[in-house]
Structure 1
């Protein structure tokens, strides 16, 4: 085959152009820190990257969900703690009132405190966090008690569990069962207690049964808080596992896409040397022109 000057020129230009492309690739890797900057660079790496990013997005969503669960549980636990303190105080007042040495005026004063504690517990039952009522089940837009302090209509009362997904296939209940803490029976009993304290004919022995009723409600609260505490411990364990998954997935994504900067710099330097050698060789291949003889 006869090799012409035009063939030499075209081959030289093609090789120089390819050298530019390789240098451009290494410079892109150096500036972005990534092995590939478009799917066509390496389809296999690109597809693995899509998979790892999808997994990482899910893990980050689980982290946000866990944060929401913590918010529900922490506020619920604080409200239950205050409710327990109120019930303990109500029991103390009832024990005092059951003493026959108290006169009607003293019983009236005790009743005033009972009313205030009852109202306080109703306010706790309407605890609102992030614009959601956390003690009305899944109907978080409705308060458990109306503004006048009476229990909301039956249609607006919900005791359903609020389940939030915190990991693949794992959904945890974020709320407590409000019926076990803020039931209608609790406030009915407190209303009856108040009526007894207001009745001048009430004897100390007439109040003994309410001590037992308050104890029953307090035990229900303790049981619900214990269940909440167990779920809070489990959330922390799930949170640790999700955090480990995030670290592992981030590492996989980095190993798959991040460029070895030292290797990229070395390849770029080598390509620059090859490029200079190509230009030098090309200068010798190209035939002299008339301009060269006119110098």
Structure 2
């Protein structure tokens, strides 16, 4: 077979183009810092990166859910603690009223403060977080109690529990249904119900208890004033249980948060190992390919007339 000058030129051009393509790919790696630019560069590596990026995105969403859940629980804890403070003050006033040494004016002052404390309880019952009523179950756009202490939702089930997804197949209950804190008034005030479904015709036990105490103070009913001490103690015992439940949920979320942060770090590290280029190695490969390209030009200069090679330089 006769080797023509055109064949030599075409062969040299093909080799030079291949070397230029290699250098271009290496330069892209150097400028982007990534091992691959297109799926065709490394299909397996690209697939692995897509999976890792999806996992990282899920973790970030779980972390946002978790932060929202923690904030919700913190607001709830604060509200329940405030109810406890109100009850503690009411107990102090009740003890004061029951000592039998108060004048009518003293009892009127105590009665007035009890009324203010009752109004404050109603305000606490309608606490919101991010525009949502925290004690209203699924009906977060509806207040829990009206100004007279009756439940606002037409129906509020005790199991209207909101759950936040904080991991794969992992969710946690975050809300406290209002009846667990404010109770339902039953047949009498000696048997509070904190575990019941309620409707708009039901009244809060706490509000009814405060009204009963105020009426007793206004009428001089010492027996009811004395009974109220025991009723307040029952309510405070219930609130201790509610706060313990909130604390357990918060602790679990803190542990879950640490786990998510650890997963995020690990997946981010794996992603970097999978797609980040070794810059030192890339620079070395670039130098090698530049030398190969120059060697190709030099070899071509000894075979093909200088004018063409000079043009290519």
1:212-271 Cα deviation digits (max 9, x unpaired): 111111111110001110111111001100111101111111111111111001001111
Gaps of 5+ in 2: 184-203
> What is the CA RMSD across the aligned residues, in angstroms?
1.7
Aligned pair partner of 2:280 in 231, 244, 262: 262
Distance in 1 separating the partners of 2:76 and 2:153:
22
Matched, 1:173 2:178: no
Question: Shift of the alpha carbon at 1:24?
Answer: 0.8
Distance in 2 separating the partners of 1:262 and 1:120:
68
- Count the aligned residue pairs: 288
Distance in 1 separating the partners of 2:148 and 2:269:
55
Q: Is the 8 A contact 2:136 2:153 kept in 1?
A: no
Matched, 1:285 2:284: no
TM-score by length of 2: 0.88
Give the corresponding residue for 1:11: 11
Give the corresponding residue for 1:194: 214
Distance in 2 separating the partners of 1:276 and 1:128:
72
Distance in 1 separating the partners of 2:231 and 2:30:
74
Question: Shift of the alpha carbon at 1:156?
Answer: 5.5
TM-score by length of 1: 0.93
Give the corresponding residue for 2:36: 36
Q: How does 1:90-169 map to 2 (within 5 A)?
A: 90-146=90-146, 148-155=147-154, 157=156, 159=158, 160-169=160-169
DSSP-derived class of the 2:138 partner: coil
1:35-73 Cα deviation digits (max 9, x unpaired): 001111111111111111111111000000010011101
Of structures 1 and 2, the one with the larger relative CO (CA 8 A, separation 6+) is 1
Q: Is the 8 A contact 2:9 2:304 kept in 1?
A: yes
Aligned pair partner of 2:249 in 231, 234, 240: 231
Q: Is the 8 A contact 1:100 1:203 kept in 2?
A: no
Q: Larger % of helix: which?
A: 1
1:91-121 Cα deviation digits (max 9, x unpaired): 1111111122112221111011111111112
DSSP-derived class of the 2:182 partner: coil
Q: How does 1:12-27 map to 2 (within 5 A)?
A: 12-27=12-27
Give the corresponding residue for 1:208: 226
Distance in 2 separating the partners of 1:208 and 1:154:
33
